[in-house]
């Protein structure tokens, strides 16, 4: 069996999630290749070595370029702060290696465009971490929509809210700098935009409003110095889909009480479908003529679920969704699958986000294709 070497850059929350997913994938699924956890890189060499040992990687690097140059690495997984996605991905593509990059793809649309063009020219496999759409319930929702179970789709209402920045005393971090990140629209909204496109289709035009609620934050924990915040805390947008449907999205990281409130309601001429990531094993379905919503529960009849649990109601979690995403990446690297979001799809999400920012700045409707 062919061996596929995995190189992981980053050891934070997402780095650990990727490590778990690669370990789980080779245990849970019968893959067409043998996965080898070849190398792990982190700027902190001691932490790189510690995490490599703890997570099962063969070696550690204190420099990410050394990982890309490592001959045992075939797939480069990037879980670093957003501003590093571009140089790392471009270097991996230049080395002819597959790239698995966390979202958002880049901090500018120009970078995202260069990344997708370089990947296309090199012919390498790329995937981006929109892991929520790998939920078997979301795949089921998409199938119901495609089958016409809701009739003609007329509206999408989506929200992604969390409260990890709701306290104005939460200190400045790289996510607060426009040169390193893109605010709540990039951090949370990118998932929502990808979900809207996945379920309903292309978005034709947008009108939007953005707001920085807390314009100053402590420079660091326990500091009395304040730093200016240059990104959005909350975003609201109106959407016009290419198929005629209308929609709204809102994204906020200052919404008290929510931890992972990626939610949507999709209405058609024959019914409504609702989902909330905080209850990720459920859908709510209303068909015209019913007295109320029907609760649909995840179970082994759904593709992907049975690999983790043989019984309905036992539920999947965040790490299982990441493992399903990694499975699709590996199948693509083996030439046996085309599912998942590649750099082209991620560029479409970034173009949509750029259109939303432009619409908010100029207070007008913006045609996405003109961006």
Mean pLDDT, the chain cut into blocks of 10 residues (371 residues total): 95 98 96 97 98 98 98 98 97 98 97 98 98 97 98 98 97 92 94 98 98 97 94 98 98 98 98 98 96 96 95 95 98 93 98 98 98 96
| 324 in a structural domain | no
pLDDT, position 263: 98
Last residue of a domain, one of 88, 114, 131: 131
Residue 298, CA distances (Å) to 72, 265, 319 in order: 39, 18, 16
Q: Are residues 35 and 66 in the same domain?
A: yes
Same domain, 111 and 144: no
142 in the same domain as 122:
no
Tell me what pLDDT residue 115 has. 98
State residue 7's pLDDT score: 98
Same domain, 125 and 176: no
Query: 202 and 162 in one domain?
Result: yes
Give the pLDDT score at 338.
85
What are residue 107's phi and psi, to 5 degrees? -95, -10
Same structural domain, 104 and 141: no
**CATH classification of the domain holding 100:** 3.40.50.720
CA distance 219 to 23: 38
What is residue 260's predicted lDDT score, i.e. its pLDDT?
97
* DSSP-based three-state secondary structure for 138: helix
Name which of 354, 296, 330 is nearest 27 in CA terms. Answer: 330
| Domain contains 287 | yes
pLDDT in tens, 331-347: 999 999 888 999 999 99
Domain-terminating residue out of 116, 131, 146: 131
Task: Kindly state whether residue 65 falls inside one of the protein's structural domains.
Answer: yes
Determine, yes or no, domain membership for 333: no
109 and 153 co-located in one domain = no
Of the candidates 292, 291, 294, the one whose C-alpha atom is nearest the C-alpha of residue 283 is 294
Residue at 323 is within a domain: no
Q: Is residue 36 part of a domain?
A: yes
Same domain, 105 and 142: no
Q: Mark whether 164 and 176 lie in a shared domain.
A: yes
According to the model, what pLDDT value does residue 46 have?
A: 97
Domain boundary among 99, 114, 131: 131
pLDDT at 337: 86
Q: Check which CATH number belongs to the domain holding 351 and give it.
A: 3.30.360.10
Can you say whether the dihedral through the CA atoms of 127, 117, 123, 196 is positive or negative?
positive
Whether residue 116 sits in one domain with residue 62: yes
Count structural domains, the chain.
2
Dihedrals phi, psi of 232, to nearest 5 degrees: -80, 145
Domain assignment present for residue 262? The answer is yes
Domain that holds residue 33: 3-131
325 occurs within a structural domain: no
Considering the domain architecture, whether residues 298 and 266 belong to the same structural domain is answered as yes
Task: State the pLDDT at residue 51.
Answer: 98
Same domain, 64 and 171: no
Q: What is the DSSP string of 312-341?
A: TTS---HHHHHHHHHHHHHHHHTTS---S-
């Amino acid at each position: 069996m062919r061996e596929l070497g995995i190189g992981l850059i980053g050891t934070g929350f997402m780095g650990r999630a990727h490590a778990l997913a690669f370990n789980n994938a080779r245990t849970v699924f019968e893959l067409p290749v043998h996965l080898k956890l070849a190398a792990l890189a982190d700027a902190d060499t001691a932490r790189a070595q510690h995490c490599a040992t703890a997570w099962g990687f063969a070696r550690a690097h204190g420099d990410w370029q050394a990982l890309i140059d490592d001959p045992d690495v075939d797939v480069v997984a990037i879980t670093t702060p957003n501003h590093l996605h571009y140089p790392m991905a471009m270097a991996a593509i230049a080395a002819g290696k597959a790239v698995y990059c966390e979202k958002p793809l880049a901090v500018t649309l120009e970078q995202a465009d260069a990344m997708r063009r370089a990947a296309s020219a090199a012919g390498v496999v790329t995937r981006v971490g929109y892991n929520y759409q790998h939920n078997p319930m979301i795949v089921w929702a998409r199938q119901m929509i495609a089958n016409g179970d809701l009739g003609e789709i007329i509206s999408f209402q989506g929200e992604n809210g969390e409260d990890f920045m709701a306290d104005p005393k939460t200190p400045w971090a790289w996510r607060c700098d426009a040169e390193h990140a893109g605010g709540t629209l990039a951090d949370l909204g990118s998932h929502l935009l990808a979900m809207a496109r996945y379920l309903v289709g292309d978005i034709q035009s947008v009108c939007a409003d953005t707001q920085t609620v807390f314009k100053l934050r402590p420079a660091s924990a326990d500091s009395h110095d304040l730093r200016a915040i240059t990104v959005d805390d909350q975003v609201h947008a109106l959407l016009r889909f290419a198929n005629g449907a209308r929609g709204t999205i809102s994204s906020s990281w200052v919404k008290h009480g929510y931890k992972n409130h990626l939610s949507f309601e999709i209405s058609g001429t024959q019914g409504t479908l609702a989902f909330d990531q905080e209850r990720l094993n459920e859908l709510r379905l209303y068909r015209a003529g019913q007295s109320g919503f029907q609760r649909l529960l995840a179970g082994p009849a759904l593709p992907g679920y049975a690999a983790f649990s043989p019984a309905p109601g036992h539920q999947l979690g965040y790490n299982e969704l990441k493992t399903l995403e990694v499975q699709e990446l590996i199948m693509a690297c083996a030439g046996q699958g085309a599912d998942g979001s590649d750099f082209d799809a991620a560029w479409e999400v970034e173009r949509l986000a750029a259109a939303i920012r432009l619409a908010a700045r100029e207070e007008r409707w913006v045609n996405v294709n003109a961006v």
